[in-house]
Amino acid sequence: MSPASEKLTLVKIGGNVIDSDAALTRVLDHFREIPGKKLLVHGGGKLATHLAGRLGIPQTLIEGRRVTDPETLRIAVMVYGGLVNKTIVAGLQARGLNALGLTGADLDLIRAERRNPLPVDYGEVGDVKSVNLRSLLPLLETGVIPVVAPLSHDGAGRMLNTNADTIAYELARAFAPTHQVSLLFTFEKSGVLLNVNDETSLVPEMNEGFFREMLAGGHIKDGMIPKLENAFRAIRGGVDEVILGQAERLPELLSRKTGTRLYRD
């Protein structure tokens, strides 16, 4: 990253925001206020599971992870690539932002390969192979706001399901050589908490050295470990900062009044 490169804010929102019309409205209102180039990555929420239930499509979990059989993939493409994506795009257009909804297949943005079925076959799931910003970079220059669904393609005509966190990190890394990237990675919690049940135990910022110490000391547990490993991988890949916190507090996250900011040494 050159110090002169332009700032890009990438916001990842998850199911907790998508499943609530009121929360989504507030988050899109906040998102509008972010200055400069920006991009939104969304997860899927409970709609896909709900729709699978109504259609009587059994959902298989292996070690807590969903298996994407072909019918479940079709639902993911409908719900993530269609309903959720276009709800957000239309909502941003209504706020005067020139949004463009994308999956990994559109503009060949994200290519993936179907995950090896051994040792565990998770089905139509894609591991990202490459991110191609060739068509997207000039669009950003003209004020277009990409809205990216958690779907990739294999380049051979097949759509694949890819975790929204992964999409957000891969995009952030791909933009890093040309932009000063802030990744706002939102989830249920206020940030990294020393005590998961105590929101006042928030860690305001950490570099990777501090993270390794906390990890060794047993202060970081469970689902936070892969989140932070991914975040520091993005930072090692050139991303300027990753801010973890709640989507509904986007302005305070940006002004560093809340959340955990991960930064480079």
* Smallest distance from a second copy to CB 131, Å: 14
Q: Which two tokens stand for residue 7?
A: 């700032």
Measured between alpha carbons, how far is 202 from 14 in angstroms, rounded to an integer? 20
* Smallest distance from a second copy to CB 32, Å: 12
**Interaction between residue 137 and a second copy (CB under 8 A):** no
Site string for a second copy, 66-85 (x = CB under 8 A): --------x--xxxxxxx-x
Measured between alpha carbons, how far is 196 from 187 in angstroms, rounded to an integer? 13
Measured between alpha carbons, how far is 41 from 34 in angstroms, rounded to an integer? 15
User: Whose Cβ is closer to a second copy: residue 99's or residue 262's?
Assistant: 99
Helical (H) or strand (E) element with 230: helix 224-236
Measured between alpha carbons, how far is 230 from 173 in angstroms, rounded to an integer? 11
Q: Are the beta carbons of 97 and 145 closer than 8 angstroms? A: yes
Nearest CA-CA partner of 28 in 168, 163, 147, 151:
147
* Smallest distance from a second copy to CB 56, Å: 8
User: Whose Cβ is closer to a second copy: residue 149's or residue 183's?
Assistant: 149
Furthest CA-CA distance within the chain: 54
Per CB under 8 A, the list member of 100, 112, 235, 262 interacting with a second copy is 100
Stretch that binds a second copy, among 34-42, 90-98, 206-214, 240-248 (CB under 8 A): 90-98
Site string for a second copy, 148-167 (x = CB under 8 A): ---x-x-xxxxx--------
Residues that bind a second copy (CB under 8 A): 54-55, 74, 77-83, 85-87, 89-91, 93-94, 98-103, 105-108, 135, 138-139, 142, 144, 151, 153, 155-159
